[in-house]
Amino acid sequence: MAGKPTIAVTHLGCEKNRIDTEHMMGLLAQAGYDVSANDDAADYAIVNTCSFIQEAREESVRTLVSLAEAGKRIVITGCMAQHFRDTLLDEIPEAVAVVGTGDYHKIVDVVQRTEAGERVQEISEEPTYIADETVPRYRTTAEGTAYLRVAEGCDYRCAFCIIPHLRGDQRSRSIESIVAEAHKLADEGVQELILISQITTNYGLDRYGKPKLAELLRALGEVDIPWVRIHYAYPTGLTESVIAAIRETPNILPYIDLPLQHSHPEVLRSMNRPWQANVNDRLLAQIREQLPNAVMRTTFIVGFPGETEEHFEHLCDFVQRHEFDHVGVFTFSPEDGTAAFDLPNQLPQEVMDGRRDRLMALQQPISLKRNQAYVGQTVDVLIEQVNPKTGQFLGRSARYSPDVDGLVYVTGPARLGAIVPVTITAAEPYDLFGEVAVSA
């Protein structure tokens, strides 16, 4: 093992990218490399980049430039490597390798080749790889939480989205593989599994010929993990059988993450989601009826080309009418390679920013009302951080997913990685405050 270079790994972007990062770290550690997140002393800096929107690319570029100025040998992996595979090595002389989204499992070989003096381009034109439970993984999340990828890639072609170009078509893991990894994570003490893919409600369609999310959820009901959370539901995939599996499987949280993107039929048609306008209201009513305790999260894009003030007001009315628990709002980003890139009637950024701020201002009192309903109640909270100066803990209730929703600020005895009962004493629009109900 002596003489091997030290390697720092930086993760940017989404949680799918995080899992790729964790597998690379696991493979490198298994091969005997000293791996950490500390760039300062490392010989190599692996940067797992994001290229979803312009803002993400700018963050990736800033990180790469900073490492180049520090004299690091840089390995660029992830979505930006896939996106700009023909130019990155020319544009960043300090880069010794670029590795695509479907090739991260080759990272040990890539490092070995660069050590031998080669500048490596390891990028499959069409990503097809997806890791299973046999691939080593070094988790980077809080100890009680783990992301579990059930599929990779997407078969849909929403006009604003570059993901299929960067990640390929959908490929699902087997139910047996996913459950086996879930059992391993349970043995490590994980309290919360977050199921992710580009469209989790389409899980299994490519492998089994029809979606199998309901069957997967029931199988995960046999795993000794208290919370299983689903991310990225596509409206048509929330079938009766999926809703029933959520309702009837005790450890599946009734947390519905449903990125609707817009409400107006004309905007949805332009987004290449024309069917959705006929689904939204009916589906949301069905969820409220069949999952009365459901926590509803959604995201919207404002400023899509051609969005008028009338379209935007329709969206505002939709948000006020449905009173989602959590709402994220993004301004449209024109991405080269997508159908929306050169659509006519592109909106100025200041108009998009104004609409985003107006929609979030509408949502704030709704979120506050939702949170205030929990004051006086005792809820389970997963403890994730502690302030060493004050002793106050930070955690999340089942209503909150990490990084995208709020936090619960907790006083009283608790331990990291545990789920403890907390009596809620105060609420803000995004966060809750409480005290441990019993000694934990």
Annotated binding site: 14, 50, 79, 154, 158, 161
82: which 2 tokens? Answer: 């896939």
Write the Ramachandran bin of 398: left for phi over 0, alpha for psi from -120 to 50, otherwise beta.
alpha
* Cα–Cα distance, 240 to 236 (Å, whole number): 10
CA angle 39, 41, 44 (to 5 degrees): 60
The full DSSP string for 137-161 is ----S-TTEEEEE-EE--S---TT-
Write the Ramachandran bin of 348: left for phi over 0, alpha for psi from -120 to 50, otherwise beta.
beta
**What are phi and psi for residue 413, nearest 5 degrees?**
-75, 130
The DSSP symbol for 71 reads T
**What are phi and psi for residue 277, nearest 5 degrees?**
-60, -30
Tell me the one-letter amino acid at 230. I
How far the first Cα of the chain sits from its last, in Å, is 43
The answer to whether residues 133 and 184 touch, using CB atoms and an 8 Å cutoff, is: yes
CA proximity to 262, closest of 303, 222, 297, 233: 303
Q: Which residues are annotated as a binding site for [4Fe-4S] cluster?
A: 14, 50, 79, 154, 158, 161
Specify the 3-state DSSP secondary structure of 326.
strand
CA proximity to 21, closest of 123, 122, 147, 116: 147
* Cα–Cα distance, 72 to 41 (Å, whole number): 10
Specify the 3-state DSSP secondary structure of 51.
coil
The answer to whether residues 54 and 79 touch, using CB atoms and an 8 Å cutoff, is: no
Collect all residues with Cβ–Cβ distance below 8 Å to 25 and sequence separation of at least 6. Answer: 9, 35, 137, 138, 140
363: which 2 tokens? Answer: 């949502």
